[in-house]
């Protein structure tokens, strides 16, 4: 299990072709309360033609829990540190939800490091004021009674009704519920606070001048279509695509659709 020390933190990552310097690179950044696993089907699909790197943010997945550093700016520096450590000068960058918050900051502050930007189910705005009390309550619940007691309430935020009610996918549903339950209490609560307290970056989206694809599920209740459309209008030349029958975790819910959208976009960047 490869880990690398970045900014004094042990970061877990997976690299499909660590010794291949010829393939173009895709880096995958996951969403809150998940890990690099949420991109397994994308890595499997793209690894023949691309070097695929997926990693876990500090405090989540298999990366080290730290006392601080969960703000989006520090997570951005962690990510740039990972690229530096792996000798990656330029890459296609994919960020979902929290990973998208980081991806936008990289595109604005380190544009020279990106070949393209793919934003999945994310937003450029701070957390909506009406959501903050709910999420703070959730953090307290995780802290005091544990993830297992609240995970079933989190699932409809993370997944759309199509996935959750499809009886043929009941096994997958259970697997992702188990993944949610496997979150470490301290790391997940600190990471959640980092997301809740994030600053908006919408006013700077006009600075992004690289090929950009924005993707949203038509059942996403966490970051609905309007958030993606708002980014689309602000990032010049960006493309906007909607995944049918998917919520906030389209890479899992509708991997074939997501893969085709990404493939078409990446081919247009050549």
DSSP states along 58-97: TTSTTSPP-SS--SHHHHHHHHHHHHHHTT-S-EEEEEET
How far apart, in whole angstroms, are the C-alpha atoms of residue 29 and residue 55? 6
- Taking each helix axis from N to C end, the angle separating 185-196 and 98-109, rounded to the nearest 10 degrees, works out to 60
Helix (H, G, I), strand (E, B), or coil: what is residue 31? Answer: coil
pLDDT band at 18 (very low <50, low <70, confident <90, very high): very high
Burial status of residue 17 (CB atoms within 10 A of its CB: 0-12, 13-18, 19 or more): middle
Tell me what the mean pLDDT of segment 35-46 comes to: 98
The answer on pLDDT for 118 being more than 90 is yes
How far apart, in whole angstroms, are the C-alpha atoms of residue 9 and residue 97? 22
Per-residue pLDDT of 177-203, as tens digits, reads 999 999 999 999 999 999 999 999 999
pLDDT recorded at residue 17: 96
Out of 37-46, 72-81, 149-158, 236-245, least confident range: 149-158
The answer on pLDDT for 139 being more than 90 is no
How far apart, in whole angstroms, are the C-alpha atoms of residue 269 and residue 91? 12
Closest of 121, 82, 104 to residue 261, by C-alpha: 121
Centroid of chain to Cα 76: 12
The answer on pLDDT for 1 being more than 70 is no
Q: What does pTM read for this prediction?
A: 0.97
pLDDT recorded at residue 135: 83
For the chain, what is the domain count?
Answer: 1
Closest of 53, 76, 92 to residue 204, by C-alpha: 76
CATH number for the domain harbouring residue 19: 3.40.50.1820
The answer on pLDDT for 266 being more than 70 is yes
Per-residue pLDDT of 55-101, as tens digits, reads 999 999 999 999 999 999 999 999 999 999 999 999 999 999 999 99
The answer on pLDDT for 172 being more than 70 is yes
Burial status of residue 167 (CB atoms within 10 A of its CB: 0-12, 13-18, 19 or more): exposed
Tell me what the mean pLDDT of segment 221-245 comes to: 97
Closest of 166, 183, 155, 176 to residue 252, by C-alpha: 176
pLDDT recorded at residue 45: 98
Place of tokens 């990552």: 13
Parent domain of 77:
3-268
Tell me what the mean pLDDT of segment 191-217 comes to: 97
Pair type for strands 212-217 and 91-96: unpaired
pLDDT recorded at residue 186: 94
pLDDT recorded at residue 138: 84
Q: Which residue has the higher pLDDT, 97 or 139?
A: 97
């Amino acid at each position: 299990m490869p880990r690398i020390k970045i900014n004094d933190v042990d970061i877990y990552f997976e690299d499909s072709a660590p010794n291949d310097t010829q393939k173009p690179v895709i880096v995958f950044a996951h969403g809150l309360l998940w890990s690099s696993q949420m991109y397994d089907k994308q890595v499997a699909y793209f690894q023949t033609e691309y070097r695929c790197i997926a990693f876990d943010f500090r405090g989540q997945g298999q990366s080290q829990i730290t006392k601080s550093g969960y703000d989006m700016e520090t997570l951005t520096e962690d990510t740039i540190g990972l690229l530096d450590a792996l000798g990656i000068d330029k890459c296609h960058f994919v960020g979902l939800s929290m990973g998208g918050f980081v991806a936008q900051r990289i595109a604005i502050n380190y544009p020279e490091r990106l070949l393209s930007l793919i934003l999945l189910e994310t937003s450029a705005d701070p957390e909506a004021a009406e959501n903050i009390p709910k999420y703070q309550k959730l953090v307290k619940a995780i802290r005091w009674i544990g993830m297992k007691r609240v995970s079933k309430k989190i699932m409809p935020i993370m997944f759309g009704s199509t996935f959750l009610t499809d009886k043929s996918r009941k096994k997958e549903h259970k697997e992702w519920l188990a993944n949610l339950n496997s979150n470490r209490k301290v790391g997940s609560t600190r990471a959640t606070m980092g997301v809740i307290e994030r600053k908006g970056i919408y006013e700077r989206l006009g600075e992004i001048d690289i090929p950009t694809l924005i993707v949203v599920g038509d059942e996403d209740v966490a970051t609905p279509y309007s958030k993606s459309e708002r980014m689309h209008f602000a990032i010049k030349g960006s493309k906007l695509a909607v995944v049918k029958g998917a919520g906030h975790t389209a890479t899992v819910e509708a991997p074939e659709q997501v893969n085709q959208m990404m493939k078409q976009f990446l081919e247009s960047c050549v």
